[in-house]
Amino acid sequence: MTVAYDVVIVGGGHNGLVAAGYLGRAGLRVLVLERLGHVGGAAVSERAFPGVDARLSRYSYLVSLLPRRILAELGVRVELRRRRISSYTPWERDGRSGGLLVDASDERRTVESFRELTGGEREFTAWQEFYGMTGRVAQRVFPSLTEPLPSRAELRARVNDPVAWAELFEAPLGEALERRFTDDVVRGVVLTDALIGTFTHAHDPSLRQNRCFLYHVIGGGTGDWDVPVGGMGAVTGALAEAARAGGAEFRTGCEVVAVDPGGPGRPAEVGYLDADGVERRVGARWVLCNAAPVELARLLGAGGGAATRAGAGSAAGIGVGGEVAGGGGGPEGAQLKVNMLLRRLPQLRDQAVDVRDAFGGTFHIAESYRELENAYRAASAGRLPSPAPSEIYCHSLADRSVLGPDVPAGWHTLTLFGLHLPARLFVGDPDGARQAALEGVLAALDGVLAEPLADCLAVDADGRPCLEVRSPLDLEADLRLPGGNIFHRDLAFPFRAEGGDGTEGGIGGLEEGAGRWGVETSEARVLLCGAGAVRGGGVSGIPGHNAAMAVLGR
């Protein structure tokens, strides 16, 4: 087959767009194939409610891991707005009620909030010490994410802090939290960053929680999570413009069905169904896959690649053949995403805090240390957690541009992210379990409000409440995320593991060498450029950058 392109990119999510931008600007012929009718993947803004001009960040919604360096090198202009309020956590204890407010711009106010909860300043001091440590780790580790993948020893030397290395990279995170903090609410607030989209617990010996936590506290070298002005679609829209300006070609509505990695004297080939359902094939020197590793294994199996010997197409979990193995060996998501539009922000039982402050950061619900552990145990036993832990974010408080001019003043978007809701809980009765899970997270939220949330919901043009809910199974159906796993697979520490394996356990069953960039697979011409690469996960563009560097370096 004639080589029509230097690089074919499977999937037009944000990482694929970053890779296309770098490679196109380098003068390579680049084709991006996207199954959906638009690019952006999970990082899109959409009008979810008929007749209402509100552009919600439907799936991904905040930005932390996207290096400003990538934006500058691609000439991308987007505004990422800092949130003044870090978090708010309502609490009740010994007949008292209140809320732990962490104000990033007012230390005195934060100290007073800690004192009201704990009776002293010890926990706040421990908080400062712990996040001072993670901040130093962030400054040292984050720049390495866009450099060749270091060995474990090299990254440890770069961190240059034996205590930080032991607590974050070697021992279960729960040990550090229980040693440093004494308050149940404070411990829970810290632990939540280890559980986003990850079904695990504080003392998991696999350190799954540590890896998730690390990526949530190192973004930008600060750990800050910022609001993308205009919504997440503004970010991917700008990335797509940069890629097109560099000469990349896009074909949407085209589903890739097979990848043949080629061989000596033979180019790689990508088979896809075009927008009319006609099967076509295109040759390339390189194939970059922005889909999950288990999906790449399936595509290589369909294309005659070596992945067939690793059992491609029979991987446990959801998304390879459509079966669910009850959370067995395959990727599994563990979250509920609820998008809402409100006529007004609801009043809180805690009258001491302004609702705009409470909803201005991350609003934690039923996320004390004990509640998170109980929720994990319930879900592990096959039950929906009660109370159901979740956290809420209000985009429109920081950026009202996502609401059209006809949307009344005082209306707000609201995003709820439920934890410890693994895909296995939705398998037998997807619709019934989704509704039950929704009722669970809303009941927990109502428990800290002075009025029912239902009284605050706006209605769409059809008279229905502006509320949309997505389970892990829905994310698989919408975005082909295996098991609804928002990271494509378990996150990996950002170093080469001992023995030369670039990920702990390999990528989707594909054999790996050391991997200079953490994107390499067993097929020399096929690279990962999505969240399933080492140093993947989140809206970062890092795997896309690293895959592009791997191509350009050869």
Q: What is the pLDDT of residues 130-183, one digit of tens each?
A: 999 999 999 999 999 999 999 999 999 999 999 999 999 999 999 999 999 999
Selection from 125, 152, 159, 147 nearest residue 207 by Cα: 152
Tell me: pLDDT of 497 over 90.
no
pLDDT band at 554 (very low <50, low <70, confident <90, very high): confident
Q: How far apart are CA 539 and CA 58, in angstroms?
A: 13
Q: What is the DSSP letter of 266?
A: B
Tell me: pLDDT of 246 over 50.
yes
The sign of the torsion formed by the CA atoms of 306, 499, 133, 145 equals negative
In single-letter form, the type of residue at position 540 comes to: S
Tell me: pLDDT of 65 over 70.
yes
Q: What pLDDT shows up at residue 1? A: 65
Q: What pLDDT shows up at residue 325? A: 36
pLDDT band at 265 (very low <50, low <70, confident <90, very high): confident
pLDDT digits (tens, 9 = 90+) for 266-292: 999 999 999 999 999 999 999 999 999
Can you read off the two tokens belonging to residue 403? 């609401």
pLDDT band at 304 (very low <50, low <70, confident <90, very high): confident
pLDDT digits (tens, 9 = 90+) for 344-389: 999 999 999 999 999 999 999 999 999 999 999 999 999 999 999 9
Cβ atoms 164, 133 nearer than 8 A: yes
- Min mean pLDDT across 115-129, 153-167, 175-189, 304-318 is at 304-318
Q: Which residues contact 444 (CB under 8 A, 6 or more apart)?
A: 365, 366, 387, 388, 389, 390
Q: What pLDDT shows up at residue 498? A: 65
Q: How far apart are CA 363 and CA 358, in angstroms?
A: 6
In single-letter form, the type of residue at position 365 comes to: I
pLDDT digits (tens, 9 = 90+) for 319-334: 322 333 333 468 999 9
* Average pLDDT along the chain: 92
pLDDT digits (tens, 9 = 90+) for 203-226: 999 999 999 999 999 999 999 999
Apex 296 CA angle, 510 and 528, nearest 5: 75
Q: Would you call 17 helix, strand, or coil by DSSP?
A: helix
Q: Tell me how crowded residue 279 is: count the other CB atoms within 10 A of its CB.
A: 11
* Number of H-type helices and E-type strands within the chain: 17, 18
Tell me the mean pLDDT in the region 82-92. 96
Tell me: pLDDT of 313 over 80.
no
Q: How far apart are CA 191 and CA 210, in angstroms?
A: 10
Q: How far apart are CA 19 and CA 543, in angstroms?
A: 8
Tell me: pLDDT of 509 over 80.
no
| Residue 67: C-alpha distances to residues 80, 144, 256 (Å) | 11, 11, 29
Q: What pLDDT shows up at residue 95? A: 87
pLDDT digits (tens, 9 = 90+) for 396-451: 999 999 999 999 999 999 999 999 999 999 999 999 999 999 999 999 999 999 99
Q: How far apart are CA 488 and CA 533, in angstroms?
A: 9
Greater pLDDT, 12 or 513: 12
Burial class (CB in 10 A: 0-12, 13-18, 19+), 96: exposed
